[in-house]
Amino acid sequence: MAPPASIVEAFVGNAEYAPEKACLFFEGERWTYEGLHVRAETFAAALKTWGLETGERVALFLGNSPDLIAAYLGTHLAGGVVVPVNTQYRREELRHIFDDAGVRLCLTDAERRPELDRVRAGLPELKTVVETGEELEDSLKDVGEHDIELPEGEDLAVIAYTSGTTGRSKGAMLLHRNLAANAEAVCEAWRWSADDKLLLTLPLFHTHGLMVGVHGTLFAGASAELYRRFDPASVYDALLEGSVTMFFGVPTMYVRLLREARGRDRRPRPLRLYVSGSAALSPQAFEEFEEIFEERILERYGMTETIMNTTNPYEGERRPGTVGRPFPGQEARVVDVRSRKPLPAGEVGEIEVIGPHVFKGYWNRPDATQEVFDGDGWFRTGDLGSVSEDGYYTISGRAKELIISGGYNIYPREIEELLEGYSGVSEAAVVGLPDEEYGERVVAAIVRESQDLNEAELINLCRQDLAGFKRPREVVFMEELPRNALGKVQKHLVRDQLVNSEEET
């Protein structure tokens, strides 16, 4: 039998095979495969009743909940394309995504709606906004009968916005077949089966939570205990309770779990699998975790454009500080950044990947798409690294200018452009400084026009315009920014100055 061409096809197959099997647990509710299937079909019919045409975009701007997953599947059943939206985004970030993707319909919740309402007038293509709860339940009552079809593998499934080097984020176009192929590879590599129960506390608007956590669960016919958000105490309690078999987290979550464990007497029994990704897990955290939890975390490496790229082995050596080998059916290589020629083991260059998981390109951005493909379909990840003689990849830096804080990607240019737009700021350079908990934290170096401008004022302005995780944690005023002979700001020197002044204080 041919493998499923989409996640929704795999899900429907599992729902037909084992309708009564538990799929999701959420705040005391138990959702069976059949229950979620019915809800997804209701969403699909509702989207059609509200006028959604094949290929039109549906934004999901709401917190973790079964409805988010049902609406995701329902959009695919209705032939729509999902645009997941970070729930921390503020007006300008929202305006850009909704406008760029031409979002036609949005499902949101009471907490996020006011932020969307602030920009709605400037979004003529956004015809319908529905809020979960009473408004949604009322509108689902009038849903008509509609034909529902499974999507084709080549159809566009998701436009996932990823931070952009030029400030504005770009929409990565993932096809149904990309999602299905990667989920199949992940399930095979990690031996994910219908018997598994994943503790899922990651946000569902990013690759890690949605395309690894949710897709893997639905593909394997497994179940997930879904949380609204990560909270170390509740996660520790759930681990002690012992019914989950897997936990996936970003390194910040593991750092917090370790802190939680130090304050507890009881230890959870080892799980089948702990996975870390989205940012580098420090070898210290890996080792401390092994001491306390008696388990070696499996670290893997992925990104929005390609979902999962490499993984440490399920059986075999999980090597701290490395991200393992390519997933089954996929390939990776390290190339020289200038000549683009493959490099021998041990040498550092840019990591490239190829395979059925690699996205189609950026929405409406053929220029940007062309830049990231290196001929013959190899995708330039923008990550620097090397590969060992026995095939393990190590990420050692980034060719792209990027800060990763708590697993969220932040492009400094976006924040610099905003800061430079504030009155009193003549120049801004944003860098990431090392941070024990978040890996890196955002710090802004500012050249100001007047001494009256202060740190609190700038941070407050950013609070209004930016998602909280992008807001600079500190602002440092400088007489001038270090520049090279061509006038380009030397970010590494800014960073060195800030690190040195931190060490002095």
Instruction: Choose the one of ligand MLC, ligand AMP, none that binds residue 395, judging by a C-beta under 5 to 8 angstroms depending on kind.
Output: ligand AMP
Inter-residue contact 242 to 215 (CB < 8 Å): no
Q: How far is the CB of 160 from ligand MLC (least distance, A)?
A: 9
Q: How far is the CB of 46 from ligand MLC (least distance, A)?
A: 28
Q: How far is the CB of 279 from ligand AMP (least distance, A)?
A: 5
Instruction: Report d(CA 491, CA 38) in Å as an integer.
Output: 53
Residue that has been written with the tokens 């699998």 in this structure: 273
Concatenate the DSSP letters of all residues of 53-86 into one string. PTT-EEEEES-SSHHHHHHHHHHHHTT-EEEE--
275 binds ligand MLC (CB under 6 A): no
> H/E element holding 105?
strand 103-108
Closest alpha carbon to 455 in 441, 466, 440, 444 = 444
> Residue 328 or 382: which CB sits closer to ligand AMP?
382
Instruction: Choose the one of ligand MLC, ligand AMP, none that binds residue 299, judging by a C-beta under 5 to 8 angstroms depending on kind.
Output: ligand AMP
Residue 419's Cβ-side half-sphere holds a number of Cα atoms within 13 Å equal to 30
Instruction: Report d(CA 450, CA 458) in Å as an integer.
Output: 13
93 binds ligand AMP (CB under 6 A): no
332 binds ligand AMP (CB under 6 A): no
| 20-28, 33-41, 112-120, 276-284 -> range binding ligand AMP (CB under 6 A) | 276-284
Q: How far is the CB of 250 from ligand AMP (least distance, A)?
A: 9
299 binds ligand AMP (CB under 6 A): yes
**In the complex, residue closest to ligand MLC by CB:** 468
Instruction: Choose the one of ligand AMP, ligand MLC, none that binds residue 87, judging by a C-beta under 5 to 8 angstroms depending on kind.
Output: none
> Can you tell me which of 302, 385, 412, 472 binds ligand MLC, judged by CB under 6 A?
302
Instruction: Report d(CA 364, CA 170) in Å as an integer.
Output: 9
Percentages helix, strand, coil for the chain (3-state, rounded to 5) are 35, 25, 40
125: Cβ–Cβ under 8 A, 6 or more apart, which residues? Answer: 98, 99, 102, 103, 104
> Can you tell me which of 395, 431, 446, 494 binds ligand AMP, judged by CB under 6 A?
395
Instruction: Report d(CA 458, CA 161) in Å as an integer.
Output: 26
472 binds ligand MLC (CB under 6 A): no
Instruction: Choose the one of ligand MLC, ligand AMP, none that binds residue 69, judging by a C-beta under 5 to 8 angstroms depending on kind.
Output: none
Q: How far is the CB of 140 from ligand MLC (least distance, A)?
A: 29
> H/E element holding 408?
strand 408-410
In degrees, rounded to 5, the angle at the alpha carbon of residue 240 between the alpha carbons of residues 235 and 246 is 65
> Can you tell me which of 206, 357, 365, 380 binds ligand MLC, judged by CB under 6 A?
206
> Can you tell me which of 169, 304, 311, 312 binds ligand AMP, judged by CB under 6 A?
304
Instruction: Report d(CA 161, CA 146) in Å as an integer.
Output: 30
Instruction: Report d(CA 391, CA 414) in Å as an integer.
Output: 36
> Can you tell me which of 153, 209, 355, 385 binds ligand MLC, judged by CB under 6 A?
209
> Can you tell me which of 67, 100, 383, 414 binds ligand AMP, judged by CB under 6 A?
383
Strand runs labelled E in 414-497:
425-435, 439-448, 474-477
Each residue of 291-308: b (16+ CB within 10 Å) or e? eebebbbbbbbbbbbbbb
183 binds ligand MLC (CB under 6 A): no
| 30-38, 42-50, 140-148, 296-304 -> range binding ligand AMP (CB under 6 A) | 296-304
Tell me which residues in 369-428 interact with ligand MLC (CB under 6 A): 405-408
Instruction: Report d(CA 402, CA 408) in Å as an integer.
Output: 10
162 binds ligand AMP (CB under 6 A): yes
> Residue 74 or 432: which CB sits closer to ligand AMP?
432
> Can you tell me which of 468, 483, 488, 500 binds ligand MLC, judged by CB under 6 A?
468
Inter-residue contact 356 to 6 (CB < 8 Å): no
Task: List alpha helices for 364-474, DSSP H.
Answer: 366-372, 412-420, 455-465
> Can you tell me which of 25, 230, 362, 411 binds ligand MLC, judged by CB under 6 A?
230
Residues that bind ligand MLC (CB under 6 A): 202-203, 206-209, 230, 250, 252-253, 277-278, 302-303, 405-408, 438, 468-469
Query: Residues in the site for ligand AMP, rule: CB under 6 A?
Result: 162, 207, 277-280, 299, 301-304, 323, 381-383, 395, 398, 404, 409
